[in-house]
Amino acid sequence: MTTPTITASTPGRICLFGEHQDYLGLPIIAAAISCRIQLTAERTAGQRVHVKLPNIGHSEEFDLTALPLPYQHDRDYFRSAVNVLVRTGFRFSTGIDGEVRGNIPINAGASSSSALLITWLSVLSQLADNPQLLPPAQLAELAYRAEVLEFGEPGGMMDHYSTAVGGVIYLESQPAIHLESYRPTLGTFVLGNSQEPKDTIGILGRVKYGMLRIAKQLTELTPAFSLQTTPITAISEYRDMLPKDDYILLKGTLANRDLLREALTLLRASNGSLLDDAQFGRLLTEHHANLRDAQRISTPKIDRMLDAALGAGALGGKINGSGGGGCMFAYAPQKAEQVAEAIEREGGRAYIVSVDVGTTSETYPSAVREGVNG
């Protein structure tokens, strides 16, 4: 009996506006980029899962004979995806053999883990006994469960929706999911990997829980206080109530909230028409200044890479992801090659990228495998 071979592909992402905001219930604007992860897999006899990851010299192997699967390590996403799908109603009575390849920088803030998880969920759901081709929004929700909720991690939903849906998205996660997609005429970006290791969980924990603690304290003092609605001009009354670092973090958070609103107005006005590139770049650079000075998530090397990119003709840029290392990006619609060279002179690895589509999937007929149910 013929069984299908599934190939799914998912992009990485850059956070344009709203870095360190989605887990606070504030919106984000993100874009999928043309660095991608691809996974090709098919059913096999027995109930063994074997996924090769040659880019990192690793493989994942486990049995599907006893579900739910016990986790072998933190962030065990290959197993958590199976468990989440089984709880959703999917059934697996055969093995799966697959291979992953990609060019998204790993552990660098470009959402490689979420892109891999979205891809794996897409393949798994199509190779189940009761196969389905899941829509992007559902893949995003399942990936959020498998990556964040399953392991009690402090992340938000930006990575999952931006990589699954693709293009440029505006996402509100509270009080309910609200998603808007845009197709502005954005030019070229240059993604720069500092190749500095980053502590995603540690930084998310410090910045997220620090900001939640501040918000709780201010709400107890002033019940009308809200991260969503309190004007930045109104927080000066808290200057003497908060430690200096807490006040700076609060002010930076609200400043970035307001920058996102300005950027959203710009995107809505230019949807399907020309974008004001200079204004867009300026907003990115202002966002980075807050992330550097208030959230303190940048590094000297990333700041040098950004300065070099701006000096080479980029119109703006910022750190990308949770920070403390990893990637930055620059908006360079006219001088991408020069900007990439400038970033690499500062010790980074540069990727010239553009806004890309979300997760995709294709099915091919494969050879008959004895003992496998199609």
How far apart CA 168 and CA 189 sit, in angstroms, is: 13
Where does 4-184+358-365 sit in CATH, by number?
A: 3.30.230.10
How far apart CA 111 and CA 119 sit, in angstroms, is: 12
How confident is the model at residue 298, as a pLDDT? 95
Residue type, 309: A
Number of neighbouring beta carbons within 10 Å of residue 3: 18
Estimate to the nearest angstrom the gap between the alpha carbon of 160 and the chain centroid.
6
CA-wise closest residue to 169 among 17, 350, 328, 7:
17
Q: Which tokens go with 283? A: 């907003």
The class level of CATH for 189-353 reads alpha beta
Query: pLDDT per position in the chain (374 positions), as tens?
Result: 467 899 999 999 999 999 999 889 999 999 999 999 999 999 999 999 999 999 999 999 999 999 999 999 989 999 999 999 999 999 999 999 999 999 999 888 899 999 999 999 999 999 999 999 999 999 999 999 999 999 988 778 999 999 999 999 999 988 889 999 988 889 999 999 999 998 777 787 788 889 999 999 999 999 999 999 999 999 999 999 999 999 999 999 999 999 999 999 999 888 666 789 999 999 999 999 999 999 999 999 999 999 999 999 999 999 998 899 999 999 999 999 999 999 999 999 999 999 999 999 998 875 433 323 33
Residue type, 179: L
How far apart CA 295 and CA 208 sit, in angstroms, is: 10
Q: Which tokens go with 154? A: 């402090």
Residue carrying the six token digits 């360079």: 332
pTM score, whole prediction = 0.92
The answer to whether 177 and 337 are in contact (CB under 8 A) is no
Domain regions of the chain by residue span: 4-184+358-365, 189-353
